[in-house]
Structure 1
């Protein structure tokens, strides 16, 4: 992983992005020479090539082509790349020509068909070659897990599930006295017995470059502090399970979280500069989306009013920053008497209270668009933890550790939990989503906001996670 502005990005995805930007620039330049247009013309060809490359990688990003779960199996890589590169190029083509006509000050000439054909071919060839290389053993990181309990099993499952750009090979688990064994016996390595092989020697024997400390209880005398120090001094990385989950899953696990990890772990930027940049981003993104989505919002309002004659908008009290209450604005997607008994409840899958129009606007996230008004008022940010109702906040604050940490920043229209996890409808879902929210609160930045915005477009296009 590479850490950029406190956010962890898969190394292979970052390398692939840089390679493809370079190839797309080269494709645009070669296509211009082949078509005998704009060649070496600094006012046209250069800007056109740069705009084409940036819009193409942006379009590929919105279709998930830089996600860590993009498969590396040769057959899957070819199929997934072909399925997504065509609509990505079409989207880039439309955006490019739209910007050229809307902003003539860019001095960017329209790119031709050869540019897109050569660019698409270069991306396809690069991915096939790179994915074949990534599958070799030399590109696989070897890990040793210290511990054989439930936490070690979860770390193992996370490492094995990383079948995309970042891949691991688990050498095995080192048993530690006092742990209740949860991993299979075939995954165990020799105990760290006196006179036996040390942890550093074990790592060097198996070629492991990292040790993940996955112990549920460290209060016993079996915790090998000295041997872990030897690993660090010997060039083998040592990482805590909490840091491993933060790095690889963008989660801060609360089941084994120690307060010291939050206090001394860095992050939580609430400086004036960060607040100013975030507010500027909120206003710019919300204004752009309001302008672009205005026809869709008008159509949704007409459909809602025509279906049952009820109110178009729905207001509900939610908990914002520092626990302050505000009224969130949404398009109404349920019947007017959805909570006629006055008892708050989460939305369920195939909820009978949802109207026919409501089902579609929820699936496409259109019901969230009026919240741009909450952003303009300063009650919400464009990106942040989703605001919850006071009834559920009081309940979850009592049952879930660190739940109120999410209220240290403004809630958002979209957020990391919304693009990484399904729609939450239970206490267990709230816990899972909180782990993403804590990661965002700790590591939020403009860079992460932009990535979440791109992922939001992908989620909307694919219709994931709605109820």
Structure 2
């Protein structure tokens, strides 16, 4: 079985990356050009070699675009209006300017005046804002949509209707309709185009220029038109199983559609090896060391604020048992964000607006500052930076009973952040645990260094905007 690749970057997104790279690099060159005309900064750029200026432009563009990626601006499924996009763009340019300013002295005599970098940042902000306004007007992210026909209109097919009901969920494809098949449940497709074929599937697909057929009928033993599907495939129509389609388009695995043989034979779910484990340890240890260097002032201030609110004898940290790799228990360390007597009545799942949370606790939980002491857990090897979030043993036992494949998330190390935290909002119910499991299984199946890096970059958005958990 092939492993579908999640199309987080649509064709429109990839084109936008290239267009905005030119805009950001061009903004720096424009700032140099305008300074040559109006001399608003006393800086002789003509003394700097042209190849150094070119490097400046490329580095400026790449760093600002990396910030844009962290802010989710290249996510084709971003649900923001122009105001929200501008806010993210403003933060991205500000972060990019800060990083470029830190790197600037390393150019030596080829360094640019900070005023020129600031001017380039302002120019890029206006130019890219204009580009973004244009893309929102013409549905740029929906460029080169595929024409999709779903084979089936029953219960299985209805998952597509329910999970991908918004326009932003369908940016990469146009839903032509759902073909009614024998054996389909009556309570399936409700609001979509239901199709009763009068001709063969092949003729219909060719006549309506179908790019892809998604097989999603409820009863397959006697109702799967294998010959016609094969004929469609020979004629260039892509044939996709519903499980793979949902995985590709949403970045999650539909747990309710999984069958045991799929887990065994599907590509992905790569086994760990000694080299991978060694590289992971080096990466986590290095990241942990540098993160501690950058965040220790924040942690010190947090500790002082907790003491000021709850008294000098109040504990700063909170240790709690969690389930890690291979189901082994370990103690996680966090800044205490709840009252000391928060669990006097037994273990409870934390909720978004939990009344047990202290005033300082609300702030540090929103921006995930309470998680920083888990650097210790990473350094000790109990956790990685990226992976499924660890849960408490009391809840894990119940979730394993009620949610199929829940225990599979313990086949990798838990993490400080994860794919589920990027894709799903805060949730503390069993239903939320099921939704997060879909994303956790996707991560386990596709985990790689590049995916880990993407998750770490995108976690900046979660921290700055207080999303996810």
Deviation readout 1:43-85 (Å, 9 max, x if unpaired): 742332222112211222232211223369xxx44x4443332
Please state how far the C-alpha of 1:231 moved relative to its aligned partner. Answer: 1.5
**Secondary structure at 2:174 match in 1:** strand
When residues 239 and 33 of structure 1 are mapped into structure 2, their CA distance, relative to the original with a 3 A threshold, is same
| Aligned counterpart, 2:158 | 153
Query: Distance between the aligned counterparts of 2:109 and 2:220, measured in 1?
Result: 60
Please state how far the C-alpha of 1:108 moved relative to its aligned partner. Answer: 5.0
When residues 425 and 398 of structure 1 are mapped into structure 2, their CA distance, relative to the original with a 3 A threshold, is same
Deviation readout 1:325-358 (Å, 9 max, x if unpaired): 11111001112222224x3220123222211111
Deviation readout 1:436-460 (Å, 9 max, x if unpaired): 0000000011221122112211111
| Aligned counterpart, 2:69 | 61
User: Of 126, 129, 134, which aligns to 1:124?
Assistant: 129
| Aligned counterpart, 1:259 | 260
Query: Distance between the aligned counterparts of 1:253 and 1:80, measured in 2?
Result: 30
- Could you tell me which runs of 5 or more consecutive residues in structure 2 were left unpaired when the two chains were aligned: 37-43
Deviation readout 1:298-345 (Å, 9 max, x if unpaired): 11111112222311011111111111111111001112222224x322
Q: Is the 8 A contact 2:10 2:172 kept in 1?
A: no
| Aligned counterpart, 2:269 | 268
Deviation readout 1:64-111 (Å, 9 max, x if unpaired): 211223369xxx44x44433323322221112112335x567965354
Q: Is the 8 A contact 1:150 1:216 kept in 2?
A: yes
- Could you tell me which runs of 5 or more consecutive residues in structure 1 were left unpaired when the two chains were aligned: none
**Secondary structure at 2:416 match in 1:** strand
When residues 186 and 54 of structure 1 are mapped into structure 2, their CA distance, relative to the original with a 3 A threshold, is closer
Please state how far the C-alpha of 1:465 moved relative to its aligned partner. Answer: 3.3
| Aligned counterpart, 1:92 | 96
Alpha-carbon RMSD across the aligned residues, in angstroms, is 2.7
| Aligned counterpart, 2:440 | 437
Q: Does 1:354 align with 2:357?
A: yes
* 123-132 or 241-250, which deviates more: 123-132
Please state how far the C-alpha of 1:14 moved relative to its aligned partner. Answer: 2.3
Deviation readout 1:33-52 (Å, 9 max, x if unpaired): 44345466267423322221
* 409-418 or 390-399, which deviates more: 390-399
**Secondary structure at 2:240 match in 1:** strand
* 124-133 or 385-394, which deviates more: 124-133
Q: Does 1:239 align with 2:240?
A: yes
TM-score (norm. length: structure 1): 0.89
| Aligned counterpart, 1:322 | 326
TM-score (norm. length: structure 2): 0.88
Aligned residues: 453
**Secondary structure at 2:255 match in 1:** coil
| Aligned counterpart, 2:406 | 403
| Aligned counterpart, 2:190 | 184
